[in-house]
A = this chain, B = another copy of it.
Amino acid sequence: MRLEMTDDEIAVQEVFAGFFADQCPPDAVREAADLGHSPDLWKRLAEMGAPGMAVAVEHGGGGATLSDLAVVAAEAGRRLAPVPLIEHAVAVRGLIATDPGHDAVADLVAGDRIATLALRAAIEGEARLVPGGAVADVVLGLADGALVVGGDAAPGAAQANTGDLALANRTLGDGQTLAAAGETEWRRMVSEWQALTAVGLTGLAQEALSLGTTYAMEREQFGVPVGSFQAVQHGFANVATSLEGAVFLAHKAVWALDSGNADADRLAAMAFLFAGETAQACAAASLQYHGGYGYAEEYDIQLYYRQAKARTLVLGPPSAEYRRLADVVLAPDSTEGAAA
């Protein structure tokens, strides 16, 4: 047991915290809003080796664990980085797991091409509102029970959306089949996406909360800082407490995936759902305690409010995921149960 970052992880965190602070200030996020993607930021991330860092060395990757990648995901989330880093990483890992000789692997690991994952099964060959779909060269997804890799061209334009994400519909119907019965492989990728996105959402939430408490201590009304009112303090305390728990649970899910824990899928879904709600709650509290200014485009907290919602909803309606998870944990033959 070690519930702190290793020295290596701390080193990675410092590098990427500095990287995103430099390369991805809020104005860069605003500039990338239309496409939901910054080619320049992606290029620099590729130079850092991030797109392939959690790919095995034998496939040209960095050989890092998901836990290592999660450290990067947290920093990317903190700065709302407009790049499909998590989608790309899990798609490439999934492609290699099913077709290690696929001719796109080398380019993808290097970050010269971009991969993504359709988070919901395609309907009549079409995967709707795929994150990173506006820019990905390679799209993995589930179509009629098969894991396929689709090859249509990236549209280069996002469907305009609440969170300025690179969402686009992509065709999977004419794709190449990686596994005829590929739901297990696809589910593994979705779980990795959920766990890493959960960590990313906690990074987002931490920054949202920090923006809120900082503003509340600077802003005075009635002669005292807004942050000195007990009602404001308690509002912050509630979401900060949930956030502390969300951070632990997200990292636990990533650890479970890394270590092959039987609970990994369940924990990943739980971590994602909880982190999504918590990130929204943190952003909402900080927005409220910004008063009118939070609502102004030039303030950053509104970016976090919108993106917390969008990064949660890209998976689907939360209630659908709660019910899917219920089917897992409440199955008659489940060994789960609350006290398990």
Contacts and interface: CB of A to CB of B under 8 A. Distances in A.
A234 interface: yes
A233 B230 CA distance: 10
A45 B231 CA distance: 45
Contacts of A234: 231
Interface string A212-240: 00000000000000000111011000000
Contacts of A230: 229-231
Of the four ranges (under 10, 10 to 19, 20 to 34, 35 or more), the interface on chain A belongs to: under 10
**How many copies of this chain does the complex contain?**
2
Nearest to A234: B231
Interface in A215-268: 229-231, 233-234
A230 to B, nearest CB: 4
Contacts of A233: 231
Nearest to A237: B231
Interface string A81-117: 0000000000000000000000000000000000000
A234 B231 CA distance: 7
A226 B71 CA distance: 44
A234 B229 CA distance: 11
A266 to B, nearest CB: 25
A67 to B, nearest CB: 38
A246 B294 CA distance: 32
Interface in A174-233: 229-231, 233
Contacts of A229: 230
Contacts of A231: 230-231, 233-234
Interface in A65-89: none
A231 B228 CA distance: 12
A231 B230 CA distance: 6
A110 to B, nearest CB: 53
